[in-house]
Amino acid sequence: MKIHPLILSFFILLTVNSLNAKDFHSISINKIGGKKAMNMNDYKGKTLLVVNIATQCGYTPQLKGLEQLYQKYKSNGLEILGVPSNEFGGQTPEENTEVKKFCELNYGVTFPLTEKVMVKGEDKHPMIAELISQSSDKSEIAWNFEKFLVDSHGKLIARYSSKEKPLDSELEKTIAETLKKNH
């Protein structure tokens, strides 16, 4: 049986692309403090909201709403992961331990935080790069508190701008619908 060269080329391209595709659940990132890595595999079967956070941003009060969202839906399978970065106007100048303390003391944050990482440019963390690659909008993160909603299989459901508030929003509506489908 002879295979047409165009069909063969298509299958080769498809195979190469699938080999290069990153599985979200195979990525790990250090917890704040850097002592232990968290593996995204730990979030398999859960709905995950990844948010790049900052301590001195006009959007920083969203931490309170994110914690309220976490408390409201965690028993239904929602996890939130705060990813601090200092790339937008130097709005997270603190060291990791101070970032954690700030979030806990000022906003009651109990959801997990990662160490500070790069979220834009060539040196962005692989987890952020994977989320952007799954997005229909392939642009870099524009500012602090951009949000990525990931389903239980590690696939991006939606990407939200910094302006999207955690509660009483399209984001919360999508989270509720996603959690309802999973249970």
- Positions marked catalytic: 57
Q: Is 83 helix (H, G, I), strand (E, B) or coil?
A: strand
Q: Is 114 helix (H, G, I), strand (E, B) or coil?
A: strand
Name which of 154, 117, 91 is nearest 37 in CA terms: 117
Amino acid at the residue 48: L
Helices 170-182 and 62-73: crossing angle in degrees, nearest 10, is 20
Residue 149 and residue 177 in contact, taking contact as beta carbons nearer than 8 Å: no
Q: Which two tokens stand for residue 46?
A: 């859960």
Q: Is 38 helix (H, G, I), strand (E, B) or coil?
A: strand
Burial profile 72-89: b = 16 or more Cβ within 10 angstroms, e = fewer: ebeeebbbbbbbbbbbbe
Element of type H or E holding 47: strand 47-53
Amino acid at the residue 171: L
